[in-house]
A = this chain, B = another copy of it.
Amino acid sequence: MENTKKLENQIEALLFASGDPLLITTLSKITGESEKLVKETLGSLKKSLDDRGIMLIHTDSEASLSTSPEMEDVVKKLHNDEITRALGKAGIETLSIVLYQGPVTKSHIDYIRGVNSAFVLRNLLIRGLVERKENPENKRGFVYVSSVDTLRYLGISSVKDLPEYEEARKSLEGELINE
């Protein structure tokens, strides 16, 4: 019990000190604990931060601390109301595909949307709202995944907080014969 608390505090301190998202592998390396234990402890850190001004955001591979979404107004005041430019319809739609289907190739995004998404994808990449990774099935291609910044943009802690996540993900994988 004592040790879990210690690891939780260490992870909190590391995420705070870094500012940027940290890989779970890095957290495991620095703390000397297994990735499995780190992931479990991220779960308890998340709970400890419940109902606080900051929260834990994580993807499968990375974690980061971030302000709670209810704090948007005061934080914006601090940042001099710096307005985050809203995404257009094409942008948010493409983001949805990456969120619910990622990792996903550009050709799959084009296929679903019925139009070429090169331009909109590039904008999302530049804003850091999607990330590009080497396609494990094709070394010369890329796959697109959501990032910690995607979740920040939406003010959620993980993709599991997305509406109908599991259900929609499954439907999108299948043939969707039945409506």
Contacts and interface: CB of A to CB of B under 8 A. Distances in A.
Interface residues of A, number: 53
Contacts of A4: none
Nearest to A22: B78
Interface in A119-149: 119, 122-123, 125-128, 131-132, 149
Interface in A152-172: none
A33 B51 CA distance: 20
Contact of A13 (B54, B116, B131, B179): B54
Interface in A51-89: 51-54, 65, 67-68, 70-71, 74-75, 77-79, 81-82
Contact of A116 (B71, B75, B119, B128): B128
